Amino acid sequence: MNPGLLKLAVVGSRSAYGRLTGIAGGVAAGVCLLLLLWGGANGLSARDDRGAWLRETGSPSVAASPTEDPTTAGPGAQVPLTADTVLMEANPAEVFRDQLISRRDVAALGSTTVKIPGIGHPPEPGRYYASPALQRLIESTPRDELGDRFGSFAGTIDEAALPGPDSLIVVTGAPEADLRQNGRAFLVSDFTTNAYGGSAAAYNTVLSIGAIAVFFPVLLLISIVTGLGAAQRRERFATLRLIGASPQVVWRIAAVETSVPSLIGAVLGVGLAILLRPAAAQIPVNGTRMFAADLTTGWAAAVVVVAVVFAASALVAAHRTARAGIGPLGVTRAIHEKTPTMWRSMPLFAGLAAMIAAVLMIRVLKVRHWLESPLLIVGFLLILVGIVIIGPWLTRLASRIGLRQARSASAVIAASRMQQTPVATFRSVSGLVIAVFVVSVFAGGSSIIESTEVPPARPGLLQPTSLHATVNAGHTPAQAEDATRKARELSGILSATVGFGPGALSGPDAGPEIYLRAADAPGLGFEDVPATETVAVDASFLYDWTTQPLALSPAPAANLDGMVPVVIVLGTDGTPEAMDRARTLLNNSGVTAHSATSTLDAGLQSSTRLIQGLAVLAYLGMFVAIAIAGLSLAVATASAVLDRKRVLGLMRLMGMPVFVLRRIITREAAVPLLTVLLLSVGLGFLVAWLMVTFIDDTYQMTWPEPGYFMALGLSLLLALGAVTATFGLIRGTSPMTATRFE
């Protein structure tokens, strides 16, 4: 091909520079997002890998009882601690303010050969290793609220064993006897590197779907920007054909003029991603930021992305031009789009069928087969593609109804255009429609996390501002009373109550009720207290999931003689400082079997690791999808305005006020958007339910959190903003003289 001709055809006019800059800029934004998301996916994986050691559950520290009958079985023999094992206990409820701290208590022989990730040799009793973020927190907080829980500082945990820079992890040294006391400690000789355990397959399926959901809008953006100014180009190509250029020359020019700015944009996108990586790492995902290095994709990935964008843009541009039917007399098929038919609904229904089949296989037929995950992923992909494919058909249906009802010039023009060019019209809003679908999927999926609600403060229920800890077997009432006496001396502690029973709550002698001194009952929030010295309440009073208020009854015994302390409940003024002082005191008292908990902690602990992963993708997905969709709509609407420069100029010349033109552009975006929006929302929640049921059919989906409705509102605002942004363009690009000169 003649380079001179190529140069003239590609950058032969001033407007060409604007179009090429638009393509390069859009591709740069798309590639940058693509690489950051790719890096993000890598980062999540790397993060989970580094934190895998925290999942280690070791082997029991107590040998199984020789008798089979659990009712007659005595305590099993202790498995001795050796040089190649450490005794470890995972503390499930170490909470500071509203943050969960991963705490591991460790006991080891001096000669131990076991290396703890990020630390090496286990800490001595009374000393601790903390992640840098936790150590900063400890140093900036009064010791009686946090630091006293762990002992003296021995060192920080290395980054190589931390999921992220904000991870709160502590490994404390403890005497072996203390850890063996409640039988929950386990022996560890080596730490696992399997980040997801048995749920890896389900997690990877969800991760794949999340990745597709996030990448799809990015690909859509790149596709939309590379089509910028398509109509203007078609006119130019028709002129080239008229003066003798062959179809091959024309589609080669089309390929070059799209792929060159795409290549420049892709390279710029790589640079931009490198520049923005430190900033992107600051975005907290699932409670912690990422290390900037986690977002690195490597040069190979960057080269692959650049090569794919370059090749794909060239091929797509050449294909589109070849299919446009550009002859010497102009475009033969540009206006007459093939009328969309009902067949366009097939991919969507096929996708739904695939996802439903996957769920039926695993939940109804109880069949475990390698096919389920691919079915779910392919089904999801088909639904995404299906929405884009069915959109024009629905747009055409809506526009036919709209045209029959149209009364104003703007309504007639907009509905007619939509009816004649539903594919082009829907393309403008396809990004936003997909974004709403993706956001609905994520919001539906993550609603199962939000469904764990804290019960309200009511008489007869454990107060949300109180902390409680069960008392270990073998402790005397005096030891428990000593702890409550110390608690009452602390600022912000309003009451301190010891509950009694026939035996420790975790032991075989535990009773169904807890006995209290009647005088202590008001401190627990009870209003109707029987006029006896001691009162009883059902033991379920302590459970997070108890939502019906319980009543006190007179205790069978007049006093608490012969009873053992089973629980300590501290009532606080509800301030975070008082709550954390209460926790620290109870955890250091030496009589409690578990860390102190409050009903507020339930929200921090109920989420499973798998669902947390889903939530990570949810929030990331919402942000990315909506931002990209807004950008896509702005680009697509601008492109549509540029492509109709002559028609818009003609309408203005006829005396059509600019505000009517604005209404036309607004209607053309609003009708397809609103038509498919409801479908997107409904499908989004259906797909979320299928995914959640696929993972575990015990999960319950609920109404999405307010953030979802905010995201939906933001999407519509973005749509409005994107369309409004093109209003200036309407006046600027529709000179009335265009009817003659364009």
Partner 1 sequence: MSTNDTAVPILSARGLHHSFGQTEALRGIDLDVHTGEVLAVTGPSGSGKSTLLHCLAGVLVPDGGSVTYRPAELAPMGISSLGEPKRARLRLTDFGFVFQFGQLLPELTAVDNVSIPLLLSGTRRPEAQRRSTELLERLGLEGIGAKLPGELSGGQAQRVAVARALVTSPAVLFADEPTGSLDSLASENVLTLMLDLVREAGTTVVMITHDARTAAYADREVIVRDGAIGAGYRVSA
Q: Report yes or no: 724 and 717 within 8 Å, Cβ to Cβ.
A: no
Question: Closer CB to partner 1, residue 659 or residue 703?
Answer: 659
Question: Closer CB to partner 1, residue 115 or residue 323?
Answer: 323
Question: Closer CB to partner 1, residue 313 or residue 410?
Answer: 410
Instruction: Report the alpha-carbon distance of residue 416 to residue 335 in Å, rounded.
Output: 12
Question: Closer CB to partner 1, residue 226 or residue 637?
Answer: 637
Instruction: Report the alpha-carbon distance of residue 293 to residue 483 in Å, rounded.
Output: 47
Picking from 625, 632, 630, 715, the residue whose alpha carbon sits closest to that of residue 228 is: 632
Instruction: Report the alpha-carbon distance of residue 729 to residue 658 in Å, rounded.
Output: 11
Question: Closer CB to partner 1, residue 366 or residue 407?
Answer: 407
* Nearest distance in Å: CB 245, partner 1: 22
Picking from 334, 307, 319, 325, the residue whose alpha carbon sits closest to that of residue 252 is: 319
First-residue to last-residue Cα distance in the chain: 28
* Nearest distance in Å: CB 452, partner 1: 53
Question: Closer CB to partner 1, residue 654 or residue 710?
Answer: 654
Residue type for 133, please? Answer: A
Q: What is the DSSP string of 638-650?
A: HHHHHHTHHHHHH
* Nearest distance in Å: CB 162, partner 1: 60
Question: Closer CB to partner 1, residue 77 or residue 654?
Answer: 654
* Nearest distance in Å: CB 335, partner 1: 5
Picking from 252, 421, 420, 221, the residue whose alpha carbon sits closest to that of residue 321 is: 252
Given CA atoms 599, 604, 609, 611 in this order, what sign does their dihedral have? positive
* Nearest distance in Å: CB 15, partner 1: 17
- Which residues neighbour 386 within 8 Å (Cβ) at sequence distance 6 or greater? 345, 346, 347, 348, 349, 350, 351
* Nearest distance in Å: CB 336, partner 1: 7
Question: Closer CB to partner 1, residue 544 or residue 643?
Answer: 643
* Nearest distance in Å: CB 264, partner 1: 31
Q: Report yes or no: 103 and 586 within 8 Å, Cβ to Cβ.
A: no
Instruction: Report the alpha-carbon distance of residue 584 to residue 594 in Å, rounded.
Output: 12
* Nearest distance in Å: CB 427, partner 1: 15
Question: Closer CB to partner 1, residue 255 or residue 651?
Answer: 651
Instruction: Report the alpha-carbon distance of residue 147 to residue 152 in Å, rounded.
Output: 8
Query: Could you identify the residue written with the tokens 């995201």?
Result: 711
Picking from 80, 45, 79, the residue whose alpha carbon sits closest to that of residue 62 is: 79
Pairing relationship of beta strands 99-107 and 169-173 according to DSSP bridges: parallel
Query: Could you identify the residue written with the tokens 């790397």?
Result: 46
Question: Closer CB to partner 1, residue 231 or residue 618?
Answer: 231
Q: Report yes or no: 218 and 33 within 8 Å, Cβ to Cβ.
A: yes
Instruction: State the residues that interact with partner 1 by CB under 8 A.
Output: 335-336, 406-409, 412-413, 416-417, 419-421, 646-647, 650-658, 660, 736-737, 739-740
Question: Closer CB to partner 1, residue 276 or residue 412?
Answer: 412
Write the DSSP symbol of residue 521.
G
- Length, in residues, of the chain: 742
Instruction: Report the alpha-carbon distance of residue 65 to residue 183 in Å, rounded.
Output: 13
